[in-house]
Structure 1
Amino acid sequence: MENLRTFLNATIVCGTLLFSQFGIAQKINQKTTSVIINGTSSLHDWEMNGSSATFSGTVNGNAISNATFTIPVKNITSKKGKMMDNKAHAALKADKFPTISFSAPSITVGKGNLNGKMTIAGVSKNVTFPVTVVKNSNTYTINGTETLKLSDFGMERPGFMGVKTGDVVTVKVNIVAE
């Protein structure tokens, strides 16, 4: 009888520990990040890239909660040279607001619309944009593309010698996290 009681107690303890592991949320961080910003001007189309971003969130089931994404403004650069970079960084108010950030309460695995708060140049807006989240073992790949207006974030369109950028930019983000 004592052996049966010991066995049952051991089974309950092991089962509790095993099942509690399934319910524990897992913290994930970026493995790689890529940001591509495409825009226009009266002279030519342009592109800027950033890869020094951070992403973190907590996985529980098929959702990532408390997701945050941040990129230093001065890590966003172009292939057109320092002049374009400096104009873009000035428009983004990099000296006063050195990062662009996005946070979302939850991201679901699969295709869907992501709701969250975007902060650019010190202005925060609630935004919604389409994303695709693919889970492969312990790795999550997040892809999203959205069109934003610079003026919505209080930014002036950068320009030089009468050539100004358009007000609309397309932002593509790719995050691989585990």
Structure 2
Amino acid sequence: MPVKLRTYWKRYLLGAVALLVVLAVGGPLFYARVIEGDAAAPLAVGAGQTAATGELSGTYTVSAGSESGYRVHEILGGQSIDAVGRTRDVSGSATLSGSQVTAGEITVQLATVTSDQARRDNQFTGNIMNVAEYPTATFRLTQPVDLGAGFTGGDRATADATGELTVRGVTRPVTFPVTAVRNGTGIDVSGSVPVAFADFGVTPPSIGDFVKVDPTGQIEFLLKLAPAS
């Protein structure tokens, strides 16, 4: 083989090796920072609600603007990512007696939960949640939640909610903090429920050491409660 040709092939091979190294190291970084981008901020009640009006006691229903979903930490090729999926297909109701929430139940339609990646959504609705068999996740309040006397006058309240969370046909007791504020005649409520996937028969997906999903995550929600007509 002529010297020039041997030199060309050496350069070609070195270039190919260098490209593979760049793809192995830089590919996940490019995906995490450019394709995946920044994760959506946690769901939370806003700061610009309308002044509270009307009687507080009564029954409220989940209305337009409500949202729920998941947040879970992933490792992709050594890059740290927060995966977030959301849906506005949320329904339910809550009953208040004064500033005390005496009953409540929320249902989320899991088939409509989407993230910014179709491959993740296919995993979520298929192998992970099996929405064909278990189309919904529900939470039912089992203990009253006292939002405090100041909530009646419009103060923002934070309290613990205790109830039963049902996912994939498995029901577990949960306790988590919620934040609530009156918004005109309605009430805005947000919170985050910590979840260990194994408790609900869910195995986090993984591909060797390249893709790993944490064994725990969060169920986030923002509820817009309107007085029942």
Partner residue, 2:42: none
Question: In structure 1, which of residues 87, 97, 102 is the aligned counterpart of residue 123 of structure 2?
Answer: 87
Question: In structure 2, which of residues 161, 166, 179 is the aligned counterpart of residue 119 of structure 1?
Answer: 166
Counterpart CA distance in 2 for 1:150 and 1:157 is 7
Cα shift readout 1:79-113 (whole Å, capped 9, x = no counterpart): 111x2112111211211111000010433332111
Partner residue, 2:73: 40
Partner residue, 1:138: 185
| Aligned-pair Cα RMSD in Å | 2.1
How far is 1:74 from its partner? 0.6
Q: Which amino acid aligns with 2:140?
A: S
Number of residue pairs aligned between Structure 1 and Structure 2: 155
Whether the aligned pair in 1 keeps the contact of 2:105 and 2:140 (CA below 8 Å) is: yes
Q: How does 1:10-159 map to 2 (within 5 A)?
A: 26-31=58-63, 32-43=65-76, 44-45=80-81, 46-81=83-118, 83-90=119-126, 91-105=128-142, 106-109=144-147, 110-159=157-206
Cα shift readout 1:35-93 (whole Å, capped 9, x = no counterpart): 24221222052111111101202222112222011101111111111x21121112112
Pair 175,125 (structure 1): closer, same or farther in 2 beyond 3 Å = same
Counterpart CA distance in 2 for 1:126 and 1:147 is 11
Cα shift readout 1:124-178 (whole Å, capped 9, x = no counterpart): 0000001112124421111112321111111111345762422111222111101
Q: Which has the higher strand share?
A: 1
Report SS of the residue matched to 1:77: coil
TM-score relative to the length of structure 1 = 0.78
Counterpart CA distance in 2 for 1:141 and 1:108 is 15
Counterpart CA distance in 2 for 1:112 and 1:64 is 11
Whether the aligned pair in 1 keeps the contact of 2:159 and 2:178 (CA below 8 Å) is: yes
Pair 133,26 (structure 1): closer, same or farther in 2 beyond 3 Å = same
Bigger Rg over Cα: 2
Whether the aligned pair in 1 keeps the contact of 2:66 and 2:88 (CA below 8 Å) is: yes
Counterpart CA distance in 2 for 1:163 and 1:136 is 42
Unmatched tracts of structure 2, length 5 or more: 1-54, 148-156
Q: Which amino acid aligns with 1:104?
A: L
Counterpart CA distance in 2 for 1:33 and 1:158 is 28
Counterpart CA distance in 1 for 2:180 and 2:110 is 25
Whether the aligned pair in 2 keeps the contact of 1:55 and 1:67 (CA below 8 Å) is: yes
Report SS of the residue matched to 2:86: strand
Report SS of the residue matched to 2:161: strand
TM-score relative to the length of structure 2 = 0.62
Q: State which drifts further: 70-79 or 131-140.
A: 131-140
